[in-house]
Structure 1
Amino acid sequence: MVMGCITGGGKVVTNDGLKTFIYEDRGYEISYPSHWDESVDEKMFYGTNGMPALGIRESFVGDKDVSEQMQKVKDNFNDNESYNVRDTSEATYGGVTFERLDMSYQDETSTYASALFIIASGDYLYQFLYLAESPSSLEEAINTTLPTLRFTS
């Protein structure tokens, strides 16, 4: 087992081919394949050749209405010309239930499979945004990381 410090008060533990990103002050940890590169400042994790990618964002909710804040996030993706939201559903991974948006993402040259998972825990709204070259690699990335998500507070 290898441990390393990262910015933002977190740490990384590597074990059995997975790196576990532990973010104690935000109250969660999530694992991703150890061969993925990481950019901790952006909380983005990239697979081989930059794909698949996982972006994590936390938003402080506090006294705000959680469902209203979740709707704002979904509206932002619906209004973004780069994303085409195809379906919204509820999904459970590792005992955690998320709101899931299935989308495609288009840049100047390519179209990618994408999915956004939103959940509220404590005073925070968490967004897990996946991007991959194909629907099958998207599902593989999701099935590798989301079941490992664990809220610690």
Structure 2
Amino acid sequence: MNPQRRRRLLWVLLLVAASGLATALVAMALQRNVAYLYTPAEVLRGDAGSAERFRLGGMVAKGSLKREPGSLVALFTVTDGDADMTVRSDQILPDLFREGQAVVVTGRLQGDRFIAEEVLAKHDETYMPKELADKMGKAHVKHDVPVPAPEVR
């Protein structure tokens, strides 16, 4: 093999190795930031497994919001109709956060309590994340809860 071909082959091998390394790094970064959505019943059933960080979705149970005086710490219960899970947040809750509303909370499970890193409340009366709407729809069917007809615009 002459020196010019050897040099080209070396460049091609380096390019393939660099692109493989870049692809592996991007895949690892994306995998670390993935947070799956579970309902309280799925978490208590063990479907969340050993997921370090995940999203918990459901409705904030009426009468469950309690705040610690003099701090930002709030305790509330997220329910999906089948199970309830206590959530602890030490951050400012969104303005639209209230009892009886849909919520998606990102965080970690600590014992039987969910420690929230981020709390997202739905932004109007017609919006709910698709994943959560699908799971809550199954709970409505299971418990024979009437579902309001979607608004046509």
- Regarding TM over 0.5, the answer is no
Greater helix share, 1 or 2? Answer: 2
Greater strand share, 1 or 2? Answer: 1
Q: Which structure has the higher relative contact order (CA within 8 Å, separation 6+)?
A: 1
